[in-house]
Copies of this chain bind each other. A is one copy, B any other.
Amino acid sequence: MPKVVDRDERRRRIAGALLRVVARDGIEEVSVRTVAAEAGISPGAVQKYFPAKEELLEFAFEMTGEIMVQRWEAVEPEGSLADVLLQFVHASLPLDEQARAELAIIYAFSARAATRPHWQARIRADYAVARELTTDLVRRGQDEGVIRTDVEAEQLTEDVLMMVDGYGPRMLHAESDADRARLRDSLDLAFDRLVRPPFD
Contact = CB atoms under 8 A, between A and B. Distances in A.
Interface of A: 23-28, 30, 100, 103-104, 107-108, 110-116, 120-121, 123-124, 127, 151, 155, 158-159, 161-170, 172-175, 183, 186-187, 189-190, 193-194, 198
B165 A168 contact: yes
Contacts of A165: 165-170
Contacts of A23: 114-115
A9 B161 CA distance: 42
Contacts of A104: 111, 114-115
Contacts of A169: 110, 165
Contact of A120 (B114, B164, B173, B187): B173
Main secondary structure of the interface of A (DSSP, over half): helix
Given A169-B110, A175-B124, A26 B115 contact: yes
Contacts of A25: 115
Contact of A107 (B111, B175, B189): B111
A162 B166 contact: yes
A118 to B, nearest CB: 12
Nearest to A121: B175
A113 to B, nearest CB: 6
A105 to B, nearest CB: 9
B175 A162 contact: no
Contacts of A163: 162, 166
Given A23-B114, A104-B114, 6 more contacts: A27-B112, A104-B111, A108-B114, A111-B111, A162-B162, A162-B163
Contact of A100 (B111, B114, B123, B186): B114
Q: Which 5 A-B pairs have the closest CB atoms?
A: A166-B166, A162-B166, A104-B114, A107-B111, A108-B111
Contacts of A30: 28
B151 A193 contact: yes
Nearest to A94: B114
